[in-house]
Structure 1
Amino acid sequence: MTAPSLRQALRPSWSLTQFIQFGLVAIAVLTVLMVGGSLTVLSYQAHLDEAWQLQQARVQTAVGDIESHLNGLQYPFNYFSKVRGLSRIDPDVQQRFLEGLTRTNHAYEAVAIFDRQGEFRAGVTPYQAGDAEQAFLISHRQMVRRVLSRSEQLLSPVTLDTDRQTLLVTIATPLYDASDQLDGVLLASVNLEGLNGIIAQTPVGRNGSIYIVDRRQLILTQTRNVDETHQSFQLERLPNAIASRVLYGDPAHQFKIYQGLRGQSVLGVAALVYSVGWYVVVELPVMEVYAPVGRLMTMMLWTGGGAIAIAIA
């Protein structure tokens, strides 16, 4: 190979202009990728924060509605319990008092008054009669004795009337005489049908769900789709895997993403109904949470691709 041929072989194949062009294109591409990536990450985090705050707002709204509903159920009952000497007046008068109590709210399934010995004095059961009334009184006699021994109001665990598909809870509170001495017990069985309405009216996104869990980790009520509306409802236990994440998990762990009640990955948040010790849980499918971020990423990809194509051109 001659000397000129060797110089030609060693001469750079790209001119200075081409180097400059390549450098500008590379800078443009890197800039688009860096800016687009940064905006995507920031948008993702901002949207996740927004979704979490929205979930918190939803669950707090539901808790407030439940607290108001329970207070509305207990207010007439607590008012009547403050009438001193109620356990000593004539049983016919007691009967009228109790009838008035059941008329204040149709949620009262049964109400009864017991004396200081725990003996039945008067009772009203608008939806029961005969053997059903006696069964109710017998089944709650132990609760009456506990109130008389402790001199404090008691709230029974929630039960399910499978025949009517109705949740029931029993409240028992002490009665006092004119000297403020323990003198009897006022007992009421209350249905919780209003909880279903609160759950149904709480917005939880397009495919989200909301449910209430009691101290026993039993699901009292939950969002039901059209196919589940007419199915029989049972008190089912919340899986331990969910309970450990959303109910008893580390409060410092802000975002709780786990396999939800319906078997799909969800963003979940829970809040406590302090008066009864229940938890309200709101779950939103992760796919629904990430959908806006996915649309944003798609738009950024198209925009970045267009910018890169223009830079290359």
Structure 2
Amino acid sequence: MSDQPIKTLQLTKKSSLITRLRLSFVLLGFLSVFISGGMQLYISWQEHLKQLELRQEAKAQAAATSINAYLDDLQRKISYLARVRGLVDMDANVQQQLLEGLIRHNDAYEYAEIIDANGNTITSISPYGSIVLDPTVRTAAFNRAFRQKEEYIGSVKLDPDRDRPMTVIAVPIRDNQDQVAGILLTQVNLAFLWFFVTRTEVGETGYVYIIDQQRNLVAKTGINAEYFKAQAAIEETLFEKIRTSLRSPDVINRVYRGLYNQRVLGQSHLIATTQWYLVVELPIQEVYQPIRYLAWVGSLILLAITLIAGMIGFLLARSIVQPLGKLTEAAIALSQGNFDTIVQIKARNELGLLANTFNSMTHQVKELLSIAETERESAEVALVNFKKAQAQLMQSEKMSSLGQLVAGVAHEINNPVNFIYGNLVHAEEYTDELLILINLYQTHYPDPHPEVREKMEEMDLDFLSQDLPKMLDSMKVGANRIRDIVLSLRNFSRLDEADLKKANLHEGIENTLMILNNRLKAKADRPAIDVIKDYGDLPLIECYAGQINQVFMNFLANAIDAIEERNQGLTLEAMKAEPHQIMITTKLTDPDTVQIVITDTGKGMDDATLRKLFTPFFTTKPVGKGTGLGLSISYQIVVDKHGGQLDVTSELGQGTTFMVTLPIALAPQPANLRES
């Protein structure tokens, strides 16, 4: 064996455990939030663009469809009048009356005239006095309507007198021999377009406008018709972008510099009747606004989580490294022969357990060395004593570790449960005070503001006032249940004695039903399960109340499962035709015993299942839903622990009945049973 000294490892700041733990926590928190936040931000942005594009497309299509329908209606009214046979040859007064009727029908008609086959005006009318049409416009309309025998809608022109956008509609007039004898021509004021563009809302800063094939701006949001002046033709580049956005499904082609020379997300739709474009544009600043807000919030969250991770890493590293440092120093001292070294660590966790074990080991080694030194002459006896002490030490440490581990777990659970349970009392008091305040408000102010009344109806205030105290009671029951579990752990670790006391069985049943209330209520796929209670006059019985409640929980939960299993494959209407009931009956069978009977209308069991019912790990439920221990534990609690009797009767398709018989006072139990 070598006597060379062992080299001591020198720790640097970079290689220290505390530095690595701190950096790991900070890096882990930063990367997790950065990656998940970035992915969420990208997905949100894509979804936002998609929804925004769909909304703009829907608005553009709706507005264009409405305008197209309005123009079709104007054209249709003119066509109806033009179909009157011999309109050209009628008396001038009759023609005048027909044209007046047409103009009265819709104030969009500003001028109407009947033109014969030679292009001469027969009759004309206008509510604005004498109107002279542009000869070019009149000739184009006559050529299309008379010579080509087609209905015609002209391009947009600006009225030189009032600087308003106008267009003409011309249709052929046929005589009695169905030959074209002239045309009916009207000038239409396009002021009605403002109604459609104004009611089309595009975000907070978006706008709508209409352009024709000659790139003339016909109408736009933000300028009323009476203030609309002649507009210069829009740029060719913008016009091409609008046409491209109409044909392209790619959102990239819909981002361009819009009407006001700012980047926009645009959507256009063709007005079929006139071949004009209705354009909806939303500035990119507003498009990006939600994603900027998400990025800002995400940055704050990233910073906060990074700081929190750093703090947690610092605290956790310190709580781990400091005790390890003490153990390291003690180990070095022990290796140098200092057996009086004691590690002072008061933490109630694995490090504290390790320190206690180390101190105990040091003490035992010191004693063994002392014995070996003083009794060197009787080495055989010392060796036997050493082996005996070693075996005793291992067994003692094993049991001590097991007890301290269970006690530590129970203690760690008990602290937060006590915190929750203690705060529930205050929460209940505050809730009662708030409900009293609401009742006083309703008493003294029976007629609240409509917005308040609407909110009260929306939140169902009466139901909340009744249900909130029940929820707090249910939370208290749950906290008590956890405390009972903690108590069982403490009993296991032998830090406390079992709680044997006189208990009210009805109270235990009601508490169990309260916990299971959510499973008893009606659901979308089945009706509610009715609990029918027939309680007798029972005295307080001496029992382990928590364990008896566990028995009730097992029986009632199994009853609900049996009813739900019976419903499998049935429609909701078929379920409603079947009984959904759990009957609970309690009675005093004789002066010394009480009986609790729980009957359900579930699917029942066959004889083979009944024979194995209380066998540990036997279950008829699917894998992962049942362990097969509930009824076995219930049998041990009732029969072995309380000296009672547990009977069960069942018939397939007819339900199941559990009968629990318990003594009012427990008989003294043998010592070995109490130990178990």
Aligned residues: 304
Q: Which residue is equivalent to 1:269?
A: 267
TM value normalised by structure 2: 0.42
Deviation at 1:232, TM superposition (A): 5.4
Structure 1 CA distance, aligned partners of 2:37 and 2:241? 34
From 302, 309, 320, give the equivalent of 1:311.
309
Structure 1 CA distance, aligned partners of 2:135 and 2:239? 35
What amino acid does structure 1 have at the position aligned with 2:121?
F
What amino acid does structure 2 have at the position aligned with 1:247?
R
Q: Which residue is equivalent to 1:246?
A: 242
Contact 2:257 2:264 in 1 (8 A): yes
What amino acid does structure 2 have at the position aligned with 1:125?
S
Q: Which moved more, 1:62-71 or 1:9-18?
A: 9-18
Structure 1 CA distance, aligned partners of 2:126 and 2:135? 14
Contact 1:160 1:235 in 2 (8 A): no
From 188, 194, 197, give the equivalent of 1:196.
194
* Change in CA separation of 1:37 and 1:14 when aligned onto 2, cut-off 3 Å: same
Deviation at 1:220, TM superposition (A): 0.8
Deviation at 1:19, TM superposition (A): 2.8
Aligned 1:209-228 pairs, distance under 5 A: 209-224=207-222
Contact 1:118 1:141 in 2 (8 A): no
Q: Which has the higher helix share?
A: 2
Q: Which residue is equivalent to 1:96?
A: 97
Deviation at 1:80, TM superposition (A): 0.4
* Change in CA separation of 1:167 and 1:260 when aligned onto 2, cut-off 3 Å: same
Matched, 1:115 2:116: yes
Matched, 1:65 2:61: no
CA deviations 1:122-176 (Å, max 9, x no partner) are 12122123xx4xx338565523244221111122211112432322111111011
Q: Which residue is equivalent to 2:290?
A: 292
* Change in CA separation of 1:139 and 1:15 when aligned onto 2, cut-off 3 Å: closer
Structure 1 CA distance, aligned partners of 2:12 and 2:22? 19
Deviation at 1:181, TM superposition (A): 1.4
Q: Which residue is equivalent to 1:207?
A: 205
What amino acid does structure 2 have at the position aligned with 1:253?
D
Structure 1 CA distance, aligned partners of 2:284 and 2:18? 50
Structure 1 CA distance, aligned partners of 2:294 and 2:264? 21
Contact 1:168 1:192 in 2 (8 A): yes
Deviation at 1:285, TM superposition (A): 0.6
Structure 2 CA distance, aligned partners of 1:153 and 1:229? 27
Structure 2 CA distance, aligned partners of 1:280 and 1:13? 66
Deviation at 1:251, TM superposition (A): 1.0
- Structure 2 portions without partners, runs of 5+: 312-676
Percent identical pairs in the alignment equals 31
Q: Which residue is equivalent to 2:153?
A: 155
Give the 4+ runs in structure 1 shifted more than 4 A. Answer: 6-13, 137-141, 228-232
Q: Which residue is equivalent to 2:142?
A: 144
CA deviations 1:40-91 (Å, max 9, x no partner) are 1111111111111111122112112211221232232121011122112222
Structure 2 CA distance, aligned partners of 1:120 and 1:155? 19
CA deviations 1:281-311 (Å, max 9, x no partner) are 1110111111111111111111121111111
Q: Which residue is equivalent to 1:15?
A: 16
Contact 1:59 1:271 in 2 (8 A): yes
What SS class does the counterpart of residue 220 from structure 1 fall into? strand
Q: Which has the higher contact order (CA 8 A, sep 6+)?
A: 1
What amino acid does structure 1 have at the position aligned with 2:229?
F
Structure 1 CA distance, aligned partners of 2:208 and 2:12? 72
Q: Which residue is equivalent to 1:46?
A: 47
Contact 2:207 2:282 in 1 (8 A): yes
Q: Which residue is equivalent to 1:29?
A: 30
* Change in CA separation of 1:260 and 1:141 when aligned onto 2, cut-off 3 Å: closer
- Structure 1 portions without partners, runs of 5+: none
CA deviations 1:244-291 (Å, max 9, x no partner) are 222135614224111111121111111101111000111101111111
Contact 2:64 2:278 in 1 (8 A): yes
What amino acid does structure 1 have at the position aligned with 2:122?
R
Structure 2 CA distance, aligned partners of 1:230 and 1:98? 26
What amino acid does structure 2 have at the position aligned with 1:242?
L
Q: Which has the higher strand share?
A: 1
